[in-house]
């Protein structure tokens, strides 16, 4: 167990004041990072849930989730590289799942680069299952996205309540 993992982790709402550190982590985490304006747009949506993970007064991770009709779309999850593998993303996703109305029946979806095996393992451990592919979704290298869902069915190992793969977030930017 690392030193980091022994100190208290607070999860709270993400705010506009957090965005300078968020965009700094974002640039260290993604080949094509979101801009400040994209985070501002997501934070401005009243139906979304945006969370910050804070350890020792330092923001160490964040999660952005939008609601499209009845489906929760996880748009962004990232953890400061120096704080990874300490359960922070798991804590953020767990808090998201417990924050939505009717958590037992809620449906969550996301896209993940097919080469991002670490993220896929994280999501699978939390009940997400692969259910489709978006071909050449990522414009920087033409990589496919794996579509993952977390629903009551995926949590019991089935896919029978997963909506068709065209259900998703219109206008979600590939990266
Ligand atoms: C993916 C990411 C968010 C994971 O954050 P994290 O806080 O390190 O994740 P956790 O510590 O909660 O990991 C939980 C489990 O997920 C799996 N996992 C997470 N990262 C992994 C990795 N790099 N390789 C293999 N498995 C991994 C492991 O099973 C891990 O449990 P373990 O540490 O006990 O083995 C982080 O690596 C990151 O910010 N990456 C860059 C941005 C990114 O790819 N975001 C996801 C976009 S879809």
pLDDT in tens, 83-112: 999 999 999 999 999 999 999 999 999 999
CA of 112, closest atom in ligand 1: 48
Tell which one of 26, 74, 89, 90 to mutate to probe ligand 1, the residue whose CB is within 8 A of the most ligand atoms.
Answer: 89
SS3 content of the chain, % helix, strand, coil (to 5): 30, 30, 40
**Interval 125-149: pLDDT, tens:** 999 999 999 999 999 999 999 999 9
The candidate with the shortest Cα–Cα distance to 93, out of 113, 81, 79, 80, is 79
Q: What is the pLDDT of residues 3-17, one digit of tens each?
A: 455 689 999 999 999
pLDDT in the model for residue 7:
81
CATH topology of domain 104-175: Aminopeptidase (3.40.630)
| pLDDT reading at 170 higher than 50 | no
- Supply the pTM of this predicted model: 0.92
Predicted confidence (pLDDT) at residue 44 exceeds the cutoff of 90: yes
CATH architecture, domain 1-92: 3-Layer(aba) Sandwich (3.40)
Q: Where in the chain is the domain with CATH 3.40.630.30?
A: 1-92, 104-175
Q: What is the pLDDT of residue 4?
A: 56
Q: What is the pLDDT of residue 166?
A: 46
pLDDT computed for residue 174 by the predictor: 41
Catalytic site residue from 26, 42, 91, 111: 111
Residue 133, SS3 per DSSP: strand
Confidence category of residue 169, pLDDT binned at 50, 70, 90: very low
What is the pLDDT at residue 164?
78
Pairing of strands 107-113, 71-79: parallel
């Amino acid at each position: 167990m690392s030193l980091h993992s022994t100190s208290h982790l607070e999860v709270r709402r993400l705010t506009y004041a957090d965005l300078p550190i968020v965009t700094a982590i974002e640039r260290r985490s993604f080949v094509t990072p979101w801009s400040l304006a994209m985070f501002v747009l997501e934070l401005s949506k009243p139906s979304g849930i945006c969370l910050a993970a804070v350890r020792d007064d330092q923001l160490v991770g964040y999660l952005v989730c939008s609601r499209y009709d009845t489906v929760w779309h996880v748009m962004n999850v990232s953890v400061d590289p120096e704080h990874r593998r300490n359960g922070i993303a798991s804590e953020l996703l767990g808090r998201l799942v417990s924050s939505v109305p009717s958590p037992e029946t809620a449906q969550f979806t996301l896209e993940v680069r097919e080469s991002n095996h670490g993220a896929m393992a994280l999501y699978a451990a939390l009940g997400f299952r692969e259910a489709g592919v978006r071909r050449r979704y990522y414009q920087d290298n033409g990589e496919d996205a794996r579509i993952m869902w977390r629903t009551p069915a995926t949590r019991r190992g089935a896919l029978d309540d997963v909506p068709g793969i065209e259900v998703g977030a219109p206008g979600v930017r590939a990266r």
